[in-house]
Structure 1
Amino acid sequence: MDKHNLNGKTIAITGSSKGIGKETASLLKERGANLVLGSRGNTTKMTDHILELHLDVQNEQSVKSFYEQAIQKFGKVDVLINSAGVGLFDSILDSSTDDFDQMISVNLRGTYLTCKYFGKHMEKMGKGHIFNLVSIAGTTPLPGCGGYSASKSGVLGLTKVLQVELRKKGIQVTSVIPGAVSSSFWDNIEPKPDLSSMIPVESVSNHLLYLITQDSGAYIDEITIMPPLGIL
């Protein structure tokens, strides 16, 4: 039996309309998972195995509705992948306070809210797996990444506390820390970086599939995925 077959598993993904979220959704669909896909660009669409919903992770009511509709449709959620994120880059002294606030709101507050609602559900089930997409910028000081690094460092800290709080309740929480990924994340960023040396986005989604389908008996708290040439 193919251990990567996900028939019967329900997986919720935020930020599912682009980048890592979109690529991961496509891969997990091929593997037979039930998918609950949230994105600001989505409108409600439903098939037997896929529920697409509008989701603004900054808004608690939107997150609550996303969670409630997921449970109403599939009865349970086994895996949450927090992929929603925004990056706006400038030196700290020249940066916009509004940009800083947005990154904290989307990247950190949004992760907190989804973990809160789906974590409570997993606690009742006595099992589940949460993946929080961090960034190498959350562990390494990079020029121009002040607000982004602050938000992602916060996600890493939040994840570490969740690991301690939820481990004995049967819930695994994993920090996924990729270096630069060749994805739509860079579409609106100028000057455009060299994407050719970055991690292919499908590589990150394949790593997520590998982690989702690991045998029980050990928890993976953190994984760092780097481009072949290191930090770009």
Structure 2
Amino acid sequence: VFITGRDEQKLSQIAKANNIPESQAFSLDITDAQAVAKLADTIHGQIGQLDILINAAGIGYLNSFEKTEAEVFSQLIDVNLKGAFHLMRYFLPPMKEAKKGLVINIPGVLGRAPMAGAAAYSASKYGLNGMVKSIREELKRTEVRITNLYLGGVDSDFWDNIDMRVNRDKFINAKEAGRAVWFLCQQPTSGVVSEMVIQPFNHQVI
């Protein structure tokens, strides 16, 4: 198991809590294509192709379109869309060559359904959704499985800096979201779960 993250302190804590050696925990900015390429070379040099790539990286932002600055919009695209592009660009080729592997992306429900105040965020996630579906079409004959996980309202750090009245007690627990990812990882290779949707009862948008 290899893990990456922007926050080195949090990354170290997660690695220790899950008995992951520090040599398998990498500080990474997924907006940096060269850094992603270097990491891919390092991991591929150790184990060959990854069996599973989980792209759970992303940033959140909710605000009216008129109050959304161009800089914020660009940052959302850079992390949520371009970051995913870099990861798949450098980790998919060995999977394709081996004709096996699983890639899980998490566009979230706002990658499929609009919401007031989410124009910029949804743009990044709709883009991710479309890109991943197109890649899936290219890989149909390779047996590399591509899954989109649409999560709605997960109680996570996403909401810490968002100025919106929400009842996080009614949200999906982060551990439940993690169990959904683990479920996808355990599915037989004879088929593919193309999409999975998990939403809170009080906020079903799909």
**What is the TM-score with the length of structure 1 in the denominator?**
0.80
Which amino acid counterpart does residue 8 of structure 2 have in structure 1? N
Match of 2:136 in 1: 163
- Classify the secondary structure of the residue corresponding to 2:181: helix
The reply to whether residue 199 of structure 1 matches residue 165 of structure 2 is no
**Which structure carries more helix by proportion?**
2
Alignment of 1:12-161 (within 5 A): 35-42=1-8, 51-161=24-134
> How far 1:42 moved relative to its partner?
2.7
Out of 208, 211, 221, the position equivalent to 2:184 is 211
Out of 169, 174, 190, the position equivalent to 2:147 is 174
> How far 1:49 moved relative to its partner?
8.8
Question: How has the CA–CA distance of structure 1 residues 49 and 78 changed in structure 2, closer, same or farther, with 3 Å as cutoff?
Answer: farther
CA contact (8 A) 2:48 2:94 kept: no
The reply to whether residue 228 of structure 1 matches residue 201 of structure 2 is yes
- Residues paired across the two proteins, number: 198
Question: How has the CA–CA distance of structure 1 residues 36 and 192 changed in structure 2, closer, same or farther, with 3 Å as cutoff?
Answer: farther
Residues 9-40 of structure 1 show CA distances to partners (whole Å, capped at 9, x for unaligned) of xxxxxxxxxxxxxxxxxxxxxxxxxx111111
CA contact (8 A) 1:42 1:52 kept: no
Which amino acid counterpart does residue 119 of structure 1 have in structure 2? L
Question: How has the CA–CA distance of structure 1 residues 123 and 179 changed in structure 2, closer, same or farther, with 3 Å as cutoff?
Answer: same
- Classify the secondary structure of the residue corresponding to 2:62: coil
Residues 135-160 of structure 1 show CA distances to partners (whole Å, capped at 9, x for unaligned) of 11111111110110000000100111
Match of 2:161 in 1: 188
- Runs of 4+ that moved beyond 6 A: 43-46
Task: For 1:216 and 1:65, locate their aligned partners in 2 and report how far apart those are by CA, in whole Å.
Answer: 29
- Classify the secondary structure of the residue corresponding to 2:88: helix
Residues 109-160 of structure 1 show CA distances to partners (whole Å, capped at 9, x for unaligned) of 0011101111111012210000011011111111110110000000100111
C-alpha RMSD of matched pairs (Å): 2.0
**What is the TM-score with the length of structure 2 in the denominator?**
0.89
> How far 1:192 moved relative to its partner?
5.3
Which amino acid counterpart does residue 103 of structure 2 have in structure 1? I
Which amino acid counterpart does residue 54 of structure 2 have in structure 1? I
> How far 1:183 moved relative to its partner?
0.9
Task: For 2:21 and 2:99, locate their aligned partners in 1 and report how far apart those are by CA, in whole Å.
Answer: 26
- Classify the secondary structure of the residue corresponding to 1:69: helix
Match of 1:26 in 2: none
Identity of aligned residues (%): 28
